[in-house]
Structure 1
């Protein structure tokens, strides 16, 4: 494998490393059994290529697969691609795909599916991939049935991080080519290459997946079936785990105080592993197209009016860390040399006075993300703080689909969001601030409408750098600019805990955690 620079060399890893080897030696798996989990909230759909909300990825990750996966150390691991090469100039990436892979409908998987996914489906439907494809990719070809070649216009140091499940779910060409992707009936009965096949979705009750008997990894999956239970009430979810109705609780499934209690139960194991690739960061997102959020002094005032330490301690029960930057502190190129906004209500009121805005003339619609009572409590706290600045605030409650649609169509004043950083700021961070990513149709782009040509230029410079020092300098400068502009209201870095029965083996093996294909998960008898 050829490597074009120190920066690219740090990304490549070992192409031959298998997920089983990365996980280390295991006990001998026991075949069979049912794993019960929770989908919270109930996802709007399971088609990962069209929706990348957390619940969709959790369930859809067992149906669809990406070309690559990533270890807890962010080393690149094989998935549908078994090997890859990078040219010395960093412009050509060649992937060799796995042999003997079939779609769930029995049709053979080939490199043509990958080309279709990259050059047509995701280029139209996926905001992160659309940006990558339009900015960096010159051509995508398949010189042979098992080979896909990406030629870039310019170096893109984060390119090998762009192929996990949520960024690059490979979809079947024979099902989607020539159709309206968003209305294709297969969106309701998803067809992938993963270890489990879609069986049934009883709305409001459960999603049922069953073992893929033709799965491309010999002897896998070990489990016979998966159930993702729909339990709207947080207290009921805790009871379901305590009584053994469900075997796994994902981060966010129960309240913070319940995490502490349930973790201490006999026969229970916990881990905070499996979020290394994502490093989720929670923020307030305001619509800068309209008053009062088009005024930078107002945005600065709101930041000073929010006590992020209070939110972490009292709303999230310590499961987080106050954020100071658009970059999570756990990710590459993080810098704390930025504009900061310590809690200071007097300072906040002073800035409001300087802004010229009359708060009493504005009624702000605050739309919480509908992922549980902790988010609702945080909305109540933010409402209280905004009202102390003189604003009128109406909380607008929506379901998961309504939140996604409203944010995607820019029909909001202020909301909460949390997004994944994907191992590199060029993938998980830049999308929120690039003016070229002000696009309707997704809740995970530049929905606030932020525009700064200097920021655009710095992100492009950093992503195209082949020298790590050059990238670091550009990213440090971009963090200074964005925090001074207060493009978003950064709140805290999430710390998620996965809780499981001791009998559940090998659940969290990689840096994408429970979104990873559960082909090597088993239940001890």
Structure 2
């Protein structure tokens, strides 16, 4: 539990610095995280609070998407590609004062890959055969097969390093090694953090930060206009961005994300097991209407699960172009006319607004939908974990995650042995040209199988006080990294 004296002192400091405005910041977030342990939850909102702020991994993503040193200052790989050696930074401590060393890395990786692990991205650790420590500042990870992507995998929020002394409370009182320490979580309102004066790296400019949860777009707009919130890195009311652009108090920050926004289909749910039905749904969708109506023009159409800014991207939107007459023909061939499907929508506006538009488009080809608006925790339990749904809309913001289609137990339950073999080949391939070819083949395969309705790449549309510097423009991972954020004089 958080020490009361520490909490009181931190809040006193926040009250003082808030008046100055030079080393305190309040960030708006649409979704409240269900917990604060990134190693035991799938919600992007967890990483939006804790990634690079409270928790750190062996490696980390930079704002440009590059893989950079984290708790490991350097690493090397053996000639056969089976053993990675990580050199840890000396003098690193967790927020509770305990030392971070090789034993904590072993604990974290073994915990993540354990059979009973609840890590949402266990596939990141599937190749690990053994983790050993020649000395307290050296970790050797032996893999079962070469994996040129392993340093990339270790940069995910799901791979942060935790300690056995504090992991049991990580969901509500996280203890990491990062530049900020957890102060409090006022459920339904905010999470606050304070600068870690014992941090091993460069001290952040900010002394305190508050992540304020505002799910309603109108309330988000009002909070920014009243300057109750200093920045909203993923602003939910895109229809109001022009008003902020015209106001010299604010900067509008538009970038790209890793968020493939899809109409997910349960590939094992009744008629959706038939590729003709999935293809009919894909051709019933008018992507541009969804982008215009739900996102006010912000978003890039996609035809497979791959980011358009990636050099290996293939534009496959034409393969599932808007063709309602073809949809009707395919439904008739499949004997699926008069179909009714359950459409489960999580809270984000892209899902709620987009869901209404898609429901109308499906109705036009003879598919009725029963819409259920779920809170995030409900969506995780019923859809993501329980697989009790027909259709849902969600942005997959994890970086370069086409490999999820090789997991037959994943929530949309796509099971294709050829695709699984393709991803297995990709995972052991290090040659850039060969990897590029395999990435393109993977995009084509899931487009051919109409696994999901591929909608658009989520744009990162943020609003910030014009005096704030250092917020990420793009989102190579789901994070509000505060390490480089500061105020101008």
Distance change in 2, residues 1:262/1:256 (3 Å):
same
Partner residue of 1:206 out of 183, 186, 190 = 190
Contact 2:44 2:478 in 1 (8 A): no
Contact 1:32 1:224 in 2 (8 A): no
1:288 aligns with 2:270: no
2:162 alignment counterpart:
171
1:84 aligns with 2:75: yes
Partner residue of 2:244 out of 262, 270, 280 = 262
1:305 alignment counterpart:
284
Contact 1:40 1:371 in 2 (8 A): yes
Contact 1:339 1:480 in 2 (8 A): no
Contact 1:307 1:343 in 2 (8 A): yes
1:416 alignment counterpart:
393
SS at match of 2:158: coil
2:102 alignment counterpart:
111
1:221, distance to aligned residue in structure 2 (A): 2.4
Contact 2:293 2:354 in 1 (8 A): no
CA–CA distance in structure 1, aligned partners of residues 66 and 393 of structure 2: 31
1:328 alignment counterpart:
307
2:6 alignment counterpart:
none
CA–CA distance in structure 2, aligned partners of residues 97 and 516 of structure 1: 25
2:484 alignment counterpart:
520
1:141 alignment counterpart:
132
1:481 alignment counterpart:
445
Contact 2:58 2:69 in 1 (8 A): yes
Contact 1:114 1:170 in 2 (8 A): yes
2:3 alignment counterpart:
none
Partner residue of 1:60 out of 18, 42, 50 = 50
CA–CA distance in structure 2, aligned partners of residues 165 and 97 of structure 1: 17
1:180-209 deviation line (CA, Å, top 9, x unaligned)? xxxx34421111111222212222222221
1:408-456 deviation line (CA, Å, top 9, x unaligned)? 111111101111352x4xxx1111x11xx234xxxxxx21111111111
Give unpaired runs (5+ residues) of structure 1. 1-29, 177-183, 440-445
Contact 1:52 1:166 in 2 (8 A): no
Q: How does 1:36-435 map to 2 (within 5 A)?
A: 36-61=26-51, 62-121=53-112, 123=114, 124-128=117-121, 130-134=122-126, 136-176=127-167, 184-218=168-202, 220-251=203-234, 253-273=235-255, 275=256, 279-336=258-315, 340-359=319-338, 362-372=339-349, 374-407=350-383, 408-422=385-399, 424=400, 428-431=401-404, 433-434=405-406
Contact 2:25 2:208 in 1 (8 A): yes
1:496 alignment counterpart:
460
CA–CA distance in structure 1, aligned partners of residues 143 and 55 of structure 2: 26
RMSD: 2.2
CA–CA distance in structure 1, aligned partners of residues 300 and 477 of structure 2: 20
Contact 1:505 1:523 in 2 (8 A): yes
CA–CA distance in structure 1, aligned partners of residues 449 and 214 of structure 2: 40
Contact 2:55 2:161 in 1 (8 A): yes
Distance change in 2, residues 1:260/1:55 (3 Å):
farther
CA–CA distance in structure 2, aligned partners of residues 97 and 162 of structure 1: 17
CA–CA distance in structure 1, aligned partners of residues 420 and 143 of structure 2: 19
Contact 1:322 1:492 in 2 (8 A): yes
Distance change in 2, residues 1:522/1:36 (3 Å):
same
SS at match of 1:292: helix
SS at match of 2:273: coil
Distance change in 2, residues 1:402/1:280 (3 Å):
same
1:473, distance to aligned residue in structure 2 (A): 2.8
1:31, distance to aligned residue in structure 2 (A): 10
1:263, distance to aligned residue in structure 2 (A): 3.0
Contact 2:195 2:207 in 1 (8 A): yes
Distance change in 2, residues 1:71/1:519 (3 Å):
closer
CA–CA distance in structure 2, aligned partners of residues 221 and 399 of structure 1: 34
Distance change in 2, residues 1:467/1:430 (3 Å):
same
1:36, distance to aligned residue in structure 2 (A): 0.4
CA–CA distance in structure 1, aligned partners of residues 485 and 477 of structure 2: 12
Runs of 4+ in 1 over 6 A off after TM superposition: none
Q: TM-score, normalised by structure 1?
A: 0.84
Contact 2:65 2:476 in 1 (8 A): no
SS at match of 1:96: strand
1:435-491 deviation line (CA, Å, top 9, x unaligned)? xx234xxxxxx2111111111111111221132333233333222221111111110
Looking at secondary structure, tell me which structure has more strand per residue: 2
1:438 aligns with 2:414: no
Q: TM-score, normalised by structure 2?
A: 0.89
SS at match of 1:285: strand
Give unpaired runs (5+ residues) of structure 2. 1-19
1:16 alignment counterpart:
none
Contact 1:70 1:511 in 2 (8 A): no
